[in-house]
Amino acid sequence: MKRIIQSGSVPGVEERLRALFIRGLNGDAVAYRTFLDDLTGHLRGFLRKRIFYLQDDIEDVVQEILLAVHNSRHTYRPDEPLTAWVHGIARYKLMDFFRARSRREALNDPLDDALEIFATSDEEPADAKRDVGKLLEQLPDRHRLPIVHVKLQGLSVTETAALTGMSESAVKVGIHRGLKALAAKIRGTA
């Protein structure tokens, strides 16, 4: 059987998840629960890279994906990579999330812009998080991803390098240059 490793995945993850999943399909409840627990961690990482600016929504999307995996488990073909099958489900659920979110935002257009009562918020951390997310969106991936993973998510440089496919020195340089670019944007000199 040809071994396929998804970009950014760790060797052995495919084999471990696949073995647990197949044992779960064959009635091993403990293996299936372990599969779901392990998969949950991988899905969080997958989603943090894609919707890092919407951290509050990650758990909801993870649950949607896990439910879809469970409901679709009968469609999995054991001769194919499990990670590719799960990745396809995750992509579709992520697209569903974005579609639903854009519909919700369209329905929430303000009715009266003249009312200033909601113009300021006492939730400064939430505002700051949103503002940082907007600033980070302006950076190229080679700067944004190291900052997100190391500075915001607390991963090590080594873990970030393995996750992004960058060298450790490129991660360090990306952080330095990205923070420098963010500072320039905040000062208004960029």
Query: Residues 34-47, buried b or exposed e (16+ Cβ, 10 A)?
Result: bbeeebeebbeebb
Give the integer Cα–Cα distance in Å for 52 and 41: 15
The pLDDT, as a whole number, for residue 177 is 92
Give the integer Cα–Cα distance in Å for 151 and 111: 38
Give the integer Cα–Cα distance in Å for 100 and 74: 27
For residue 19, the domain's CATH number is 1.10.1740.10
Residues 18 and 88 in one domain: yes
The pLDDT, as a whole number, for residue 171 is 92
**Within-domain flag for 8:** no
The pLDDT, as a whole number, for residue 117 is 46
**Within-domain flag for 5:** no
**Within-domain flag for 3:** no
Whether pTM > 0.85 for this model: the answer is: no
The pLDDT, as a whole number, for residue 182 is 84
**Within-domain flag for 120:** no
Residues 19 and 94 in one domain: yes
Residues 101 and 140 in one domain: no
The pLDDT, as a whole number, for residue 35 is 93
- Taking Cα atoms as reference points, which of 179, 86, 172, 93 lies closest to residue 132? 179
Q: Tell which of 107, 139, 156 closes a domain.
A: 107
The pLDDT, as a whole number, for residue 1 is 36
What is the residue range of 47's domain?
A: 13-107
The pLDDT, as a whole number, for residue 20 is 93
The pLDDT, as a whole number, for residue 98 is 82
Residues 38 and 75 in one domain: yes
pLDDT tens over the chain, length 190 residues: 333 334 444 557 888 999 999 999 999 999 999 999 999 888 888 888 877 777 778 888 889 999 999 999 999 888 888 888 888 898 888 888 888 877 666 555 555 554 444 444 455 666 667 777 788 888 898 998 998 888 888 889 998 998 889 999 999 999 999 889 888 888 877 6
Q: What count of other Cβ atoms lies within 10 Å of the Cβ of residue 132?
A: 17
Residues 146 and 98 in one domain: no
The pLDDT, as a whole number, for residue 36 is 92
> How many domains would you assign to the chain?
2
- Taking Cα atoms as reference points, which of 176, 187, 185 lies closest to residue 143? 176
Which ranges of 12-113 does DSSP label H, i.e. alpha helix? 13-25, 29-50, 55-71, 82-107
